[in-house]
Chains A and B, each alone.
Chain A
């Protein structure tokens, strides 16, 4: 059971480049989300999805797009990378939102924008 898998683990981008961070889970979880971790800021929610075909914005959505075409996958797209998007990104999944359950996290993607 792989849990939540994120790729790549590390990435360096030039300002203005675009890329997609991949996230997949094999636990049949309905709820998936993307967070970024910055020093002193904790984990901040970027976008989330309560099921296939449904996405919504979190606390810091600007500069990012998401889609959820299947239950398993929840990719995060950076449209035009900026140095302010240098961060560690975590994908998480949770069984559902009606029951109180924990979220499971991937290993993270460390992104540097130069």
Chain B
């Protein structure tokens, strides 16, 4: 049972344009959502997060949007840069229920930004 899904295995974008990465979840107990970035041969690094009490959170070029009714979140990168090329993982956490404290990850999306 995949509780967090990233349905696009890969995304290719031109430098300077917007990158939009999508994530869907099924567990209504999730109340905190995170995006991680991973370069080859490195561990995932935290990028941005959003609490379920908000619908948007911005940090520089990165914005995360949360649509609770659709159980959907997205990460927008504007403008995209070649250094953004990496694997992006969506993750979710809950403070209650059987998912308590655990981070559940999606499958990841490979973003390639072309110069």
Given known pairs A42-B108, A58-B102, A98-B95, the reply for A90 and B44 (CB within 8 Å) is yes
- Are the C-beta atoms of A43 and B105 separated by less than 8 Å? yes
For chain B, the bracket of interface size reads 20 to 34
- Are the C-beta atoms of B51 and A100 separated by less than 8 Å? yes
**Closest beta carbon of chain A to B113's beta carbon, Å:** 21
- Are the C-beta atoms of B43 and A103 separated by less than 8 Å? no
Interface size on A, residues (CB 8 A): 27
Given known pairs A40-B107, A42-B106, the reply for A100 and B42 (CB within 8 Å) is no
- Are the C-beta atoms of B103 and A100 separated by less than 8 Å? no
Bound Cα distance A48, B98 (Å):
13
Residues on A lying within 8 angstroms of B by beta carbon are: 4, 6, 31, 33, 35, 40-45, 48, 50, 58, 90, 92, 94, 97-98, 100, 102-108
